[in-house]
Amino acid sequence: MARQQTGVLTWVARAKHAWPVALTVSVCVLALATGAIVRREFRLGQGFWIVQPVLYLAHREHRADSVPWELVAFLPVLVVALIWTVRRVDRPLRPVPELLTAIALGGVLANVAEVLARASVTDFLGVHGPNGGLYSAGDIAINTGVALIPVAGFALIRPEHGTVTGLLAGGALSAAAILLAVVLPNRLGLAFLVTIVAMAAVASLATRTLLSKFLSTRAAKRIA
């Protein structure tokens, strides 16, 4: 009985370390499935507005005759280096960067898989604007991972240096990500996504802070 319990605990401990891989595979499969649904439900070129005149849905095929193997080979090295660094510096915070890394890497793998299988990537979600673009499910996953970088920066810095410094760091990373999105072609969607994630993170932090103060005040009144 004791051996069985030990075996279960060992399996659970290993599963905790394997969740980034599971999430990466899940994101990749979900992105591929989304592309397949778009190809089945929408004719090539068919589309409609979701939020006029900003957000729209349209089926287009982004041709790609070759895979950027240099980028594909470099990404796993970068991912491993990032995860190793975070685990060495601050073990309790490892889920934060691993989460965004798994999401972004899953999107990259989905795009590469589509290129290898079909020599094209299915784009469907568009942002209309001067630097707008049309994105695949893999692109959305990649942009989501990038948009989470400011949140990761805040989570990494706040425990050691306080909330104000963490917010400044997160704000600086958000500004850098938005600037990158504005400079790079067809990346306006990333700027929107970074803004939405930053606003949601600040709102969540404010709600938790206010709730904590309310509960503390209520508890103090009961004691008095």
Comparing 91-100, 107-116, 179-188, 198-207, the range with the smallest average pLDDT is 91-100
Query: Please, which residues have CB within 8 angstroms of residue 90's CB and are 6 or more apart in sequence?
Result: 156, 159
Give pLDDT, residue 58: 94
pLDDT over threshold 90, residue 149:
no
pLDDT digits (tens, 9 = 90+) for 153-209: 777 777 778 888 888 888 888 888 888 777 777 777 778 888 888 888 878 877 887
Give pLDDT, residue 114: 92
Neighbouring C-beta atoms of residue 123, cutoff 10 Å: 20
| Phi, psi for 216 (deg, rounded to 5) | -65, -45
Q: Find the mean pLDDT for residues 120-145.
A: 88
Q: Spell 183-197 as b/e; 16+ CB within 10 A means b.
A: eeebbbbbbbbbeeb
CA proximity to 23, closest of 73, 83, 72? 83
Q: Which residue has the higher pLDDT, 136 or 153?
A: 136
The mean pLDDT value of the chain amounts to: 80
Comparing 4-13, 82-91, 100-109, 159-168, the range with the smallest average pLDDT is 4-13
Give pLDDT, residue 156: 75
| DSSP labels, 54-94 | TEEEEEEEEE-SS--HHHHHHHHHHHHHHHHHHHHH-GGGT
pLDDT over threshold 70, residue 7:
no
Return the percentage of the chain with pLDDT > 70, whole number. Answer: 79
Give pLDDT, residue 42: 93
pLDDT digits (tens, 9 = 90+) for 23-67: 999 999 999 999 999 999 999 999 999 998 889 999 999 887 766
Give pLDDT, residue 26: 95
Return the percentage of the chain with pLDDT > 90, whole number. Answer: 21
C-alpha distances in Å from residue 185, one per residue of 60, 142, 188? 18, 15, 8
